[in-house]
Each structure stands twice: as structure tokens, then as C-alpha cells.
Structure 1
Amino acid sequence: MKTHSIFIATLVSLLSFSAFAAQPFCVAHRSLGYGGVENSLEAFEKASKAGAKAIEFDLLHTKDGKTIVQHDGKFGRVTTGCGKRKITEMTLKEIKDHCKLNNGEAIPTLDEALAILSQYNSTLFIEFKDKTITKDDFSSIKSYYSARPDKIMIISFLKNILLEVELKKESDSFYKEVKTLQLKKIGFYANIDDFDGISAKYINKNHVEKLQSMGKLVGVYTKDSEEKIQKYLDKGVDFVTTNNSLLCESLIK
């Protein structure tokens, strides 16, 4: 009886991934490709309105434990007003009072991003950049996507983040439907038995096929040229994360 139940659970998982990845899709890296500064509300709105299949964005935590949408640990590359200060050295209030994105927006919080994104139908690839995922993070994601857990992918290079999500699945029915994807430079060396899939910088076709046969979702990051996007589509990956979303979509169509 136990063996039968495991078989059914595995079959459901495989069918779920098959339905999601019926054909390869493109993930807008930092929501780029449709206009707007990376990881900005403007970019989220434009990508969502354009019908992006999936949108990736990055999360970091401030000195007082609040969650903001930002890729770099230091300000300066796409921001003004904060010099090159570290995010961990500033409270959310200080960031809101002094820091701006290059388009003039305030630095978005996770809740502000979800408030925009949840109005649309794109799947979210939410990357946790530091070693923290808070109770408020879990709560916010669930609050905005309570009826659509299938639209949430939690991704990270850090296994402890993904393991916390997997642990959450044991007590929260919402998170049972959320997928965990490990980021890894070289896919061949990744051990993703505990997770739902992988996004690798490099991966060979045999490994793509092996992981997919185990019910894993397999993708690559960050491929921007036609040659590189097509190379990995030919390898059979389920998704390509890219800064060049429109080109990627044209190659799939």
C-alpha cells in the first residue's frame, strides 16, 4: 500500500511538471527585456502587461530585517543617493528616505513588488540572495498568492534557504505546492534530490534528460544571445532565464 502511494505521488509530480513545461519558456531576469530598470516596479508592470511567462527578481534583507528587491549587496550600480553603502548597514526607513533607483523610484519592498505582480499571471522566480528567509517573507508570498501557489518558484544558490521552504511544506498546505529550484553554476555537480528542479549556468543534454526523467524542472541562466539561447533550447531545457526576453520568446514561437 505504501509503495502504491509513493508511485501515485511521483506520477502526480511528473504530470504537474509536464503540464507546466509543456514547451520551454523564458524567464525575464530581474524583469528585464520589456523596459524599465532591473528589479523595479516599472519593469514588473511592463513585463507583466506584456504577458511574460515568468519573471525573476532578487531579495535582500536590511539591517532591521526587512525585505527589499535588489540584486547587489551594495548600493550604487542602479541606484543613487546611498553611495556604495551596504544594504545590511541601513534600515528600511533609511533606504526609503535616501535611496532611489535610477528611474527615480524608491527601492521596492517584497510586498510592493508582490502587490504589482499578483495582479497578473506570470510565474515568479523569487531569488533569495542572502542567508535569510523570514516569517514575514513566507507570510507575504502566501498572502498575495494564496490561491495560486503554482505561480511561485523559490530559487537560491543557498541550500539552507531551499531546505527551509521544504520544511515549511510539512506544516503549510500552500507551500506544498510551491516549487524549490537550486541555482548552480555547473548542473552536472548539483545534488537536487531534495528540491523540485535546477537552474544552471552550464548543463549538458544527458543531464537535462536524466533530471527530467526524475520529474525535475531544468533550466539555465543567464543566456542572452540567439546562439546561446538556441543552444540550450536544443538541449531540451524547460526554461531559459535571460535579459533578452523578446529574443528568447521569438525563438520559442
Structure 2
Amino acid sequence: MYARPAAATTAALLGVSALILPTASAHAAEHDEPLVIAHRGASAYAPENTLAAVDRAADMGFRWVENDVQRTKDGELVVIHDDNLKRTTNVEEVFPDRAPWKVADFTTAEIARLDAGSWFGPEYAGARVPTLKQYMNRVSHNHQKLVLEIKKPELYPGIEQQTLRVLRNEGWLDRTHVSSKLVIQSFSAQSVQTVHALRPDIKTGFLGTPATADLPKYAEFADQINATHTSISADYVSAIHALKGPHGKPLEIFTWTVDTAANTRRAAGFGVDGIITNTPDVVRRAVAED
């Protein structure tokens, strides 16, 4: 399925000195109730994927945040959800002749000029699209934990290795972080397989809702099946938990994007391990009331 000799060589370059297996599930390690993960930061209250959103989540008391990673024209990793800068920045105003304003068509310096906050509210004017390095520094400063999503890896060959390199350089591939503070996920099974092959100690998640019969195949390389909340049931969650992932622990499920108390109660009732949400305070209250 993967080129293991090449993966082993790359893993050595990425600083793997020994296999570090996660010591416990994120769920079991911290909570008897689902973890609450702030989607793109506290994105109902601050512009998504910005440092302000990370800080807002921290100020609200949330340890886990989720983000998205893409790559610029000059090869820098930046934190943004869309492969296009139009929705969350003023790129049309600053670069009116550069349609369709794809992330991959702009340099890091050009993206750094863009306002990524005013679209959300005037109080966030001047917020920037952070580089992954800047983002990791802020998450570290806030003593937070991260679910990192590799977006559209088919557009960015080698982004898995590059993401791991940045994480290593920022101190996120040591034993402490790998065992309890980091999940890497993607909608691309191939991308998740690549991360698992390069760093088999890292917890990984596949984004989607595979057929129950196909779950054992995903359990070979993914520790989590992270499905949208509208696609799951109690039986589906039980089928996930009945399998063991690549680290010998029961498969987990972080479900998304859950923003109401009613949907929180429904997902929690199914026994999910984590809830990814734009409104972490709403989810926290709903979980506490159960």
C-alpha cells in the first residue's frame, strides 16, 4: 500500500528515533464525555483559522483547536480552509487582476498583505492568514492541542512531508505532543496513509463516513473515522468502536460540525469521542447538562 523503505528513510530525516505510540485515546485520557474541539478556532466568535480565533478559544477555556493547511506559490504552508483567498480575505481589493485568487497562485509575502479579519467584523481588521509556523507558535503559547487537517493534498504534492517537517521544527513531534496533543486528518485516504507511513506514531483521522464493511481497511492506517454528524448513528459509532486502529486502541470518532445543543445531545448520545464545533461554548453547556 505504501513504499515502506522510502517512508522509513523520510521518517528518519523527520527525526524519528523511536516509535512513540499514543498512550491512551484522547477521550479516555481527559474526559468521560466527548472532547470539544474548536473548529478553525472559536470560529463563531472570531475569523476562522486566524490567531485571533485560536486566542478566543483559549480565552473560553478550550484546549483543543482544529485548523486547515494549504501551500503558497513559493512553498510556504499557511492556515486557511479554502484553496481560494476570496471568501476570507480582501484579496479582490488588493489584487483585482489576479482572479481566481487561488492560494497556490500567491506568494507568502503577498498573502501576508491581506486582511483576513474585516469580513468577519471591524474589530478584527488587520488579522492575517498565518503561516503554519506562526500558528503552531501561538497554539504552543496557549498550551493548546491540535487537530490539523491537510486540505486538498492532490493540489500540493509532498505536503504531508512538509507539514511534518514544520511540526518537527516547532517542537511538535516529540513524545509529549505525539502521545496526547496532536491529530492529523484529511479527506484523502492516501494522504492519511502517507502520514501514517512517514510517522506511524502520530494519531491520524480519516474525514468521511466509509461504509461499515470498509471500516477495517481504514483501521489499518487511521486511528479515527471523523464523520459529519448528519451521517452517523449509534450503530455506526458502535461499529467504529468495535475495531482497533493501528496503535491497538479502539477506533475513535470526532464528529463535525455540531453547533446546536440538540445536535450535541444527539451526537453525545451516540457515544462519539469528540465534537468539532464553531460554537464550543454551546456544545460544552449541552454536554454538561446531560
Q: TM-score range by the shorter chain?
A: 0.7 to 0.9
SS in 2 for 1:106: coil
**One-letter identity of the residue aligned with 1:244:** T
User: Counterpart in 1 of 2:167?
Assistant: 141
1:179 to 203, 212, 216: 203
User: Counterpart in 2 of 1:101?
Assistant: 116
Tell me, in whole angstroms, the C-alpha distance in 2 between the residues paired with 1:16 and 1:128.
Answer: 21
Quick one: structure 1 residues 15 and 95, their matched pair in 2 at CA, closer, same or farther if it must change by over 3 Å? closer
Post-superposition offset of 1:14: 8.5
Does 2:230 correspond to 1:230?
A: no
How many residue pairs get aligned? The number is: 235
Please identify runs of 4+ aligned residues in structure 1 that moved more than 6 A: none
**Structure 1, unpaired ranges of 5+:** 1-11, 171-175
**One-letter identity of the residue aligned with 1:180:** T
User: Counterpart in 1 of 2:199?
Assistant: 169
CA deviation map 1:129-150 (0-9, x unaligned): 1214254421221233234222
Structure 2 length as normaliser, TM-score?
0.74
SS in 2 for 1:30: coil
Structure with a larger share of its residues in strand? 1
Matched residues, percent identical? 24
CA deviation map 1:36-92 (0-9, x unaligned): 211111111121233213111111111222111111111121211345511111111
Tell me, in whole angstroms, the C-alpha distance in 2 between the residues paired with 1:95 and 1:13.
Answer: 36
Q: Which moved more, 1:15-24 or 1:211-220?
A: 15-24
Post-superposition offset of 1:112: 0.4
Does 2:107 correspond to 1:91?
A: yes
Alignment of 1:231-250 (within 5 A): 231-250=266-285
Cα RMSD after superposing both structures: 2.2
Cα pair 1:28 1:245 within 8 Å, conserved: yes
Tell me, in whole angstroms, the C-alpha distance in 2 between the residues paired with 1:92 and 1:134.
Answer: 19
**One-letter identity of the residue aligned with 2:135:** A
Does 2:152 correspond to 1:123?
A: no
Cα pair 2:71 2:77 within 8 Å, conserved: yes
Quick one: structure 1 residues 134 and 236, their matched pair in 2 at CA, closer, same or farther if it must change by over 3 Å? closer
User: Counterpart in 2 of 1:221?
Assistant: 256
CA deviation map 1:14-38 (0-9, x unaligned): 8545335532111111112573211
SS in 2 for 1:127: strand
Structure 1 length as normaliser, TM-score?
0.84
Cα pair 1:25 1:239 within 8 Å, conserved: yes
Quick one: structure 1 residues 81 and 229, their matched pair in 2 at CA, closer, same or farther if it must change by over 3 Å? same
Tell me, in whole angstroms, the C-alpha distance in 2 between the residues paired with 1:180 and 1:217.
Answer: 10
**Structure 2, unpaired ranges of 5+:** 1-20, 94-99, 118-123, 244-249
Post-superposition offset of 1:165: 1.1
Tell me, in whole angstroms, the C-alpha distance in 1 between the residues paired with 2:195 and 2:149.
Answer: 12
2:47 to 21, 37, 40: 37
1:208 to 217, 226, 237: 237
Tell me, in whole angstroms, the C-alpha distance in 2 between the residues paired with 1:40 and 1:93.
Answer: 17
Cα pair 1:118 1:144 within 8 Å, conserved: no
**One-letter identity of the residue aligned with 2:35:** F
